[in-house]
Amino acid sequence: MIPCVLAAEGWDREPVQPLPTCTQLTPDKVQLGRDLFHDNRLSFNNSRSCASCHPLEQWGSDGQRVSLRADGAPATMNTPTVYNVRFQIGQYWNGRVRTLQALVEEKVRLEMNSTWPEVEARLTADERYRLRFAQVYPDGVRAANIQDALAEFQRALVLANSRFDRYLRGDKEAISAQEREGYLLFKEIGCASCHQGMNLGGNMYHKSGLFLERSGAVDPSGAVPAEEDQDRFQVTGNDEDYHVFKVPSLRLVLRTAPYFHDGSVATLPEAVQRMARQQLGRTLNAEEVGKLVAFLATLEGIPAGACP
């Protein structure tokens, strides 16, 4: 059995910390949220569930450049994994909502193409749901309770105790020499300046393409290129937030291709090379890329349990 460790100890000088190995949860809400997560009735035509874009058996991401909404239209940005989402500073690539409840509220309206009164009516018609909601929420099947249960389930989706977590906690044999060299390189060249903390990302926003030559100035009409129509500027209105996005977590990066907000890169070595060039102004050789990819492979965890 994995010992329950809520916080890292003795690694305050490292840019990366281990994830807690257990989570504080309400079990009845988690189970209700799990069923709702897989229920197509959240969509207007009963065609899509949360799991359609975030299949848990595929590491919480559908592997597509962009996912499809319930009405068949493509989403505008790549779908990130839902695992470890509780540790994110905000939701969506631009962080336009802060809480998981707010994320659910918007996802059902904009990607499931449903209204909340319609969702309430569909679920209320199911006696099983009526009974289960009544056991957890005094006011039964309500939009706020649906959102709360789905949020609680997503908080349960923590993959912790990776080989690298064990290494940080003192097990020096948990990773290989090449993987250790990859971590040292990760810190040395500056990757850890953005990909840091427990989730190796997800806790800050940063400009995409610091070392890219951009053509022309921002359109004075306020138009934004289609591939950047969800940058941080759309949230803040501040000019310095053009091309700024949430730094993605690297925890499942080996499993969640394609990469970046636009899903434009298919392989991890290519993504590593591109980030080194565009964000650090550095060209890596094949050996360096290999070391970094080897390190990233150590970040994949296993399901965390509930705290006692």
Q: Would you name the residues annotated as active-site residues? A: 111
Q: What are phi and psi of 58, to 5 degrees?
A: -115, 35
Q: How far is CA 171 from CA 160, 186, 305, in A?
A: 15, 20, 21
Rounded Cα–Cα distance for residues 200 and 297 (Å) = 13
Rounded Cα–Cα distance for residues 199 and 81 (Å) = 12
Rounded Cα–Cα distance for residues 26 and 308 (Å) = 12
Which residues lie closer than 8 Å to 307 by C-beta, 6 or more apart? 4, 6, 22, 23, 24, 25
69 close to 59: Cβ distance less than 8 angstroms: no
User: HSE (CB half, 13 Å, CA atoms) of 4?
Assistant: 7
Q: Is 112 strand, coil or helix?
A: coil
* Encoded amino acid at 102, one letter: A
Rounded Cα–Cα distance for residues 4 and 7 (Å) = 9
CA 272 to chain centre: 18
Which residue, 180, 214, 164, 190, is CA-closest to 16?
164
CB-CB neighbours of 274 under 10 Å: 15
Burial class (CB in 10 A: 0-12, 13-18, 19+), 116: middle
94 close to 246: Cβ distance less than 8 angstroms: yes
